[in-house]
A and B are shown apart, each in its own frame.
Chain A
């Protein structure tokens, strides 16, 4: 029991990190922000799921994907399809030439619901699809790539191409997908109005809780052998093979895990924002998500959340005043982080924390700050007159 607790929470330092994040998300922000701003934070947090996936995939296993927006989008579309069908009941769509199908299908002269839309009439199936559809795509692509030992830059480029293909595919099939406008005008989930203020609050808290549960789940995974094997794979892929592991299957698993997490994020995005469009699936959002993880610290689960929040908050504030400059600023930020702080925010905080505890312990033992304990001891033994 005790070990299980340790594996989920990650000991004393893990508990501190968990409490700090929980207090910020569940207490401080809801008490200080308007529902509009809080909803914005909720939206950012849905990208946090993608960032968590990237921590596992990129930070731990060393596989950089520049196409995580694809899985975010697929999860979002699965959710949006259900909500759209619920919003398109025959009564509210009776002015269409074919009532009962989504409005954009009617505009595109579709006479019946396409077969792949039919399962999304059911909420349980849709919720399962949010997890399964991204995972299946990740499994197919991952198996094809990793079994052939495609990795590194090549894998990144292929995932990037995937993001382009999917966003263009959605864009080009307006009758089936809603095209460039995406799927809009989503109203209720099983009769519950997701646009109301109370729903906004509830969805925000659901997002926060799912995010925290995801972090704990990933910590549990990483506290086991997988947490040693993934970094080992990143550093010495060959050696792991010669320890008897099928490296490609571990990469496929991590890729699927990251995809499923992104799918959850996408679904929660749709619920809170009320629409999904191909612009959230393509290359730019996919790269932005990598930047969130990089700024927060690509190997730190908590860091990824803070990175997501900070970059997005910066984006909102900055782009309100200098919309043209934002992208340059973001690119500059990414380069600066990678060059100067490869471990991101988490790395800076960690080393600052270590310095601080050292400083405190020195203060307690009566050694002046700025002089390390070793130096002081050395000085006092070697040259007593100096201390």
Chain B
């Protein structure tokens, strides 16, 4: 099973316990290439913790995370990013004191070593990519605006844009539409559909209506374990899911 190369991401027996409490318990999860997977579940189900372990923020107690058959457990955050995993946090984390342009520039995947950073120049290639990504995230007119002055929704988009600059093969988004207006949600749904091309995405989301609009496949987590997995339609009618989650 673990030697299967068709998966982009293979999570096996992933467990983490905080002072004896197992936040994630023997989780097995496989993400295929070009898949858009949504993880849902009640508060405390361990959704964010799973992402934390994939991207190296939290060290798992047991288990493995294989990305293109490369073990990610034990690597540091920047190594995992360089391997091709991008992460968007729940609260928008952008550089508030930098402009949109600079935010995107800093995220460009070149000049990441100290010397490379000193020698880094804003070449035509960089400017072109920044323009392209800015267009994608609806911020072309805000390039010179400081991050702090963006609206909440725009900050969310900017963070997605920063990830796109990195050209990750796996994109992990933690509640990307939280706090957005209905119009912004609509735009974000289109944005996500568009950027799935050529990469896989894991999204944590609470908004069921939004989930049903974007998801290929949904995984329901409950108490650190997988409760159900399937299409949104299957999940909606799954008796256990209705009991613990949707029924509320």
Verify B98–A231 contact, CB threshold 8 A: yes
The stretch of B12-20, B89-97, B204-212, B216-224 that contacts the partner chain: B89-97
Verify B81–A243 contact, CB threshold 8 A: yes
Instruction: Point out the residues of chain A lying under 8 angstroms from B78, CB to CB.
Output: 241-242, 244-247
**Range of interface residues on chain B?**
20 to 34
**1/0 contact trace for B141-180 toward A, CB 8 Å?**
0000000000000000000001000100000000000000
User: Is B117's beta carbon under 8 Å from chain A?
Assistant: yes
Verify A228–B98 contact, CB threshold 8 A: yes
Rounded to whole angstroms, the CA-CA distance of A225 and B102 in the bound complex is 9
User: Is B215's beta carbon under 8 Å from chain A?
Assistant: no
Instruction: Point out the residues of chain A lying under 8 angstroms from B98, CB to CB.
Output: 228, 231-232
Rounded to whole angstroms, the CA-CA distance of A224 and B111 in the bound complex is 11
Verify A225–B117 contact, CB threshold 8 A: yes
* A interface SS class: helix
Q: Write the nearest CB–CB distance from A237 to chain B, whole angstroms.
A: 10
| Size of A's binding interface in residues, CB under 8 A | 23
Mark out the residues of chain B between 41 and 100 whose CB falls within 8 Å of any chain A CB in the assembled complex.
55, 57, 76-78, 81-82, 86-87, 89, 93-98
Instruction: Point out the residues of chain B lying under 8 angstroms from A238, CB to CB.
Output: 57, 93
Can you name the residue of chain A whose Cβ is closest to the Cβ of B114? A253
Q: Write the nearest CB–CB distance from B191 to chain A, whole angstroms.
A: 20
User: Is B227's beta carbon under 8 Å from chain A?
Assistant: no
User: Is B198's beta carbon under 8 Å from chain A?
Assistant: no
Verify B118–A228 contact, CB threshold 8 A: no
Can you name the residue of chain A whose Cβ is closest to the Cβ of B107? A243
Verify B113–A228 contact, CB threshold 8 A: no
User: Is A226's beta carbon under 8 Å from chain B?
Assistant: yes
Q: Write the nearest CB–CB distance from B218 to chain A, whole angstroms.
A: 25
Instruction: Point out the residues of chain B lying under 8 angstroms from A232, CB to CB.
Output: 95, 97-98, 106
User: Is B109's beta carbon under 8 Å from chain A?
Assistant: yes
Can you name the residue of chain B whose Cβ is closest to the Cβ of A250? B114
User: Given that A224-B120, A228-B105 are known contacts, is A243 also in contact with B114, CB under 8 Å in the complex?
Assistant: no
User: Is A87's beta carbon under 8 Å from chain B?
Assistant: no
Instruction: Point out the residues of chain A lying under 8 angstroms from B94, CB to CB.
Output: 236, 239
Among B93, B96, B111, the residue within 8 A (CB) of A225 is B111
Among B97, B102, B112, B121, the residue within 8 A (CB) of A235 is B97
Instruction: Point out the residues of chain A lying under 8 angstroms from B120, CB to CB.
Output: 224-225
User: Is A229's beta carbon under 8 Å from chain B?
Assistant: yes
Verify B114–A235 contact, CB threshold 8 A: no
Can you name the residue of chain B whose Cβ is closest to the Cβ of A221? B118
Can you name the residue of chain A whose Cβ is closest to the Cβ of B82? A244
Rounded to whole angstroms, the CA-CA distance of A238 and B58 in the bound complex is 12
Instruction: Point out the residues of chain A lying under 8 angstroms from B81, CB to CB.
Output: 241-244
Q: Write the nearest CB–CB distance from A258 to chain B, whole angstroms.
A: 14
User: Given that A243-B107, A245-B78 are known contacts, is A235 also in contact with B87, CB under 8 Å in the complex?
Assistant: no
Rounded to whole angstroms, the CA-CA distance of A245 and B166 in the bound complex is 12
Rounded to whole angstroms, the CA-CA distance of A221 and B118 in the bound complex is 7
Point out which of B78, B81, B111, B121 has the most chain A C-beta atoms below 10 A from its C-beta: B78
Can you name the residue of chain A whose Cβ is closest to the Cβ of B159? A239
Verify A249–B55 contact, CB threshold 8 A: no
Among B96, B97, B112, the residue within 8 A (CB) of A245 is B112
Verify B117–A229 contact, CB threshold 8 A: yes
Point out which of A228, A236, A245, A246 has the most chain B C-beta atoms below 10 A from its C-beta: A245
Give me 27 A-to-B residue pairs in the complex whose CB atoms sit less than 8 angstroms apart, sorted by A's number: A224-B118, A225-B111, A225-B117, A225-B118, A225-B120, A229-B106, A231-B97, A231-B98, A232-B95, A235-B96, A235-B97, A236-B94, A238-B93, A239-B94, A239-B95, A240-B106, A242-B55, A242-B77, A242-B78, A242-B81, A242-B86, A242-B87, A244-B109, A245-B112, A246-B78, A247-B78, A249-B113
Among all A-B residue pairs, the 5 with the closest Cβ atoms = A244-B81, A241-B77, A225-B120, A232-B95, A253-B114
